[in-house]
Amino acid sequence: MNDQLLENFKTRLTATEASFKVMHRAPSNIALVKYWGKYDPQLPANPSISFTLSRAFTETLVFFEPSMSPKINLKFEGKAKPSFIPKVQSFIDRIKDYCPYLSGYNLEIETSNSFPHSSGIASSASGMAALAMAICSLEANLSGDKVDLKKASFLARLGSGSAARSIEGPLMSWGLHKDILGSSDLFATPFFEAHPIFNAYQDAILLVHKGVKSVSSTVGHNLMNNHPFAEQRFAQANENLARLLRVLRTGDLDDFIEIVELEALSLHAMMFSSTPSYILMQPGTLSIIQRIRTFRKETGIPVCFTLDAGANVHVLYPLENKEIVVDLIDNELSAFCEDGQYLLDECGLGAK
Ligand code: PMV
């Protein structure tokens, strides 16, 4: 099955003598059921589902210039950034069987993020998704066809796993799951059956710790190999996804909250129980979690939290509760954020 799909992503297109310039914007995403653990080549140990965001994005301009000896130049936020080139180069090497035409172009890349540098908001998902979209635009230009969004997700995944889910939105699943028709470990697919309440779902990203994480996601994924709870965790993620799919259809927010918070804490429980063990949460992370739970109990407002692999807290709530939740953030939760900083984001439709 996968062999056939992989063949479909291959092409015989080659570079032409014309140059091509394109700009793409791709958003970040926040997983509701988490991908944690992978095997080669960047395939998920369990399926996941995420909200595609809209205001936290990367914008990337790529100038493809015909060349016999291709090179990569890269500017980040207006300045040359040679330290980013090896990552892009290894991505290009990884996808060469699927994009043979790339061997005929120099790549001049100019990229920037809408969110502050080193804010703890991972830019790999939005960055790799924007670059994959640029490559698929070049391919569409060469073939005369439309941009293949499935291939863009497939390529983005080879750059950074969760980037596969940043191409479309507002909900994207990635990884084979028995209840999702057409689901695959190779690329993400949009989930179109959600209740309308999830179309404009809000995500306030509270920046508890803005620096570089003490343990990278790559190391974290690898620590799931030989993890004593790995099998239980992968089974749990499959079950949580099955439950969440039903909840997404019905719009039952109590169950949504229960599953989403359980997933966030299970992800961090894997870090606590890895060998070596590690903690990415900060005291402020826990204070915010406790306060959100108390506030929900006191007011009945369906606000909940999720976490990615870091200390920042994503506060999720329906659009209709925006005013009261933003008040809570301003008056209480921002005290636990570095420099009081947070970012109000919401679900979006993916790359542009
Ligand atoms: O795509 P990566 O390798 O940065 O891993 C992402 C892992 C989590 O953000 C913790 C979970 C997820 O599904 O996005």
Query: Residue 318: is its pLDDT beyond 90?
Result: yes
Alpha-helical segments (H) within the chain: 2-8, 85-94, 124-143, 149-159, 217-222, 230-250, 253-272, 283-299, 322-331
| H or E element in which residue 29 lies | strand 20-33
- Index of the ligand 1 atom closest to the CA of residue 165: 14
DSSP code at position 114:
S
- Residue whose entry in the numeric block shows the structure tokens 């039903």: 246
305 Cα: distance to centroid of ligand 1 (angstroms): 16
Report pLDDT for 179.
Answer: 96
- Residue whose entry in the numeric block shows the structure tokens 């980040």: 76
Rounded average pLDDT over 140-156: 97
DSSP code at position 98:
T
Q: What is the CATH number of domain 199-346?
A: 3.30.70.890
Domain boundaries, the chain: 2-190, 199-346
- Residue whose entry in the numeric block shows the structure tokens 């019905």: 250
- Index of the ligand 1 atom closest to the CA of residue 38: 3
Q: Give the whole-number percent of the chain exceeding pLDDT 70.
A: 99
- Mean confidence (pLDDT) of the chain: 96
Q: Which two tokens stand for residue 197?
A: 């309440």
Q: Reduced to 3 states, what is the DSSP secondary structure of residue 71? A: coil
Q: What is the CATH number of domain 2-190?
A: 3.30.230.10
Neighbours of 277 (CB within 10 A): 10
Nearest-CA residue for atom 9 of ligand 1:
308
Q: Which two tokens stand for residue 300?
A: 């009945």
Rounded average pLDDT over 286-305: 98
- The dihedrals phi and psi of 192, each to the nearest 5 degrees, come to -95, -5
| Least trusted range by pLDDT, from 121-130, 163-172, 341-350 | 121-130
Q: How confident is the model at residue 130 (pLDDT cuts 50, 70, 90)?
A: very high
36 Cα: distance to centroid of ligand 1 (angstroms): 7
Q: How far apart are CA 33 and CA 36, in angstroms?
A: 10
Q: How confident is the model at residue 1 (pLDDT cuts 50, 70, 90)?
A: low
176-229 per-position pLDDT tens digit: 999 999 999 999 999 999 999 998 999 999 999 987 888 899 999 999 999 999
- Index of the ligand 1 atom closest to the CA of residue 33: 13
5-21 per-position pLDDT tens digit: 999 999 999 999 999 99
- Index of the ligand 1 atom closest to the CA of residue 267: 10
- Contacting residues for 49 by C-beta, under 8 A, at least 6 apart: 31, 32, 33, 171, 172, 173, 174, 191, 241, 244, 245, 248
Report pLDDT for 211.
Answer: 79
Q: How far apart are CA 69 and CA 53, in angstroms?
A: 38
Cβ atoms of 312 and 121 closer than 8 Å: yes
Q: What global pTM score does this model have? A: 0.97
Angle subtended at Cα 311 by Cα 309 and Cα 314, rounded to the nearest 5 degrees: 80
Q: Which two tokens stand for residue 92?
A: 């290009």
Ligand 1 pocket by Cβ (under 6 Å): 31, 34-36, 48, 122, 124, 160-162, 217, 221, 267, 308-309
Q: How far apart are CA 172 and CA 52, in angstroms?
A: 7
Q: Which two tokens stand for residue 226?
A: 């030989």
Closest CA to 316 of 330, 301, 299, 294: 301
Cβ atoms of 20 and 213 closer than 8 Å: no
Report pLDDT for 181.
Answer: 94
Q: How confident is the model at residue 136 (pLDDT cuts 50, 70, 90)?
A: very high
With residues binned 3-state (H G I as helix, E B as strand, rest as coil), the percentages for the chain, rounded to 5, are 40, 25, 35
Report pLDDT for 120.
Answer: 72
Angle between helices 253-272 and 230-250 (to 10 degrees): 160
